[in-house]
Amino acid sequence: MRVTVCGASGLLGNALMREWAGDEVTGLRSKDADIRDARQVAKAVLDSRPDWIVLAAAYTDVDGCEKHPALAFDINVQGAVNVADAAKRSGVRLLFLSSDYVFDGSNGSPYETTDPRKPLNVYGRTKAEAEERLLEIIPNCCIVRTSWLFGRGGKCFPDTILDLARTRTEIDVVNDQRGSPTYNTDLARAIIGLCRDGATGIVHVTNAGHCTWYDFAKTIIDDEGLKTSVRPTTGENFARPAARPKYSVLSPRSLHQHHITMPSWQDALGRYLSQRKSQALPLAR
C-alpha cells in the first residue's frame, strides 16, 4: 500500500512517519505542497501515486484561528477541499483528521459520531465545515475525530506543564473542561489500522478514559515526583480568545467496530514521560 501523509512535520504527522512500517509512505510538509494551492496538491498526489492520503495538515492553534478566521478557513476548509478534489480525481482513499471541538460541550455523556455538530469557536467551525464538504466530495472518506493531542514532535500540554514547574512552586490549571488526552503514537497506530481496514465514515479515536486539564496536569506532576502544587481553577479565570467546550469526551464505539482499542490516557502519559526521560529531554526538578 502506498500512503501520502499531508502535514508530515506536525505533531501527528511526525508520529505517523515514525510508526508506519511495511508500506510505502511519502511525507509532505507545507514547503513540499501547500494545501491552499490546488495545483501544488494535485501535482503532489500525481507524483506520489498513493492508495491513501492521510490529511493531518491544519491550522490547529485554536486561539490563533479566532484571531485569524480567514486564514483558518483557507487552510482548514479550502485546503481540505483541495486535497479531497485531488484524491477524487485520482481515485485515492482519504482519511481526514478532525476534532472534538466540532461539539459545543453540552453533552453529559460521551459524544457519538451521529451527534450533531455545534462548534463554539472558529477552529471548531472550520473542522465541522471541512467534514461536511469532504463527505460531499468523497462520501466514503474516513474522518477521524480526536482530542487533546500530546507527544513527541511538537508543542504539547505535558511539556508546557513541566516547563512551568521548572520555575514555579504553584500552577493554576482549569478544572471545568473535560476530555480525553491522546498520545500521538497511539493515534498514529490506530490510523494505520483504520487505513489497512479500509475504514469509511466518522470514527472517534482517543486514548481511553477522560479527565480535566487539572487532573491531567496533576498526574504529570505526580508521575514525575515533583513538588510543584497544582491548583484547580475555572476557565473564566483564563481570558482566551476562543471558547472551549466544557465536555468533549468522544465515545469509542465507532473505533471498536474496527476491532481497535486504545490504552488509557494514564498509560499513554507514562510511556510518553518515560520516552522523554530516555531521550534526555529536560525535565523540571
User: So which residues are the catalytic ones?
Assistant: 123
End-to-end CA distance of the chain: 46
Torsion over CA of 88, 89, 92 and 96, rounded to 10 degrees? -40
Is the separation of the CB atoms in 127 and 102 below 8 Å? yes
With 0-12 / 13-18 / 19 or more C-beta atoms within 10 angstroms meaning exposed / middle / buried, residue 236 is exposed
CA dist 60 to 5, 12, 65, 99, Å? 17, 11, 8, 10
Secondary structure class of 52 (helix, strand, coil): strand
One-letter identity of residue 193: G
The 10 Å CB-count burial string (b at 16+, else e) for 106-135 is: ebeebbeeeeebebbbbbbbbbbbbbebbb
User: With helix as H, strand as E and coil as C, how does 178-194 read?
Assistant: EECCEEHHHHHHHHHHH
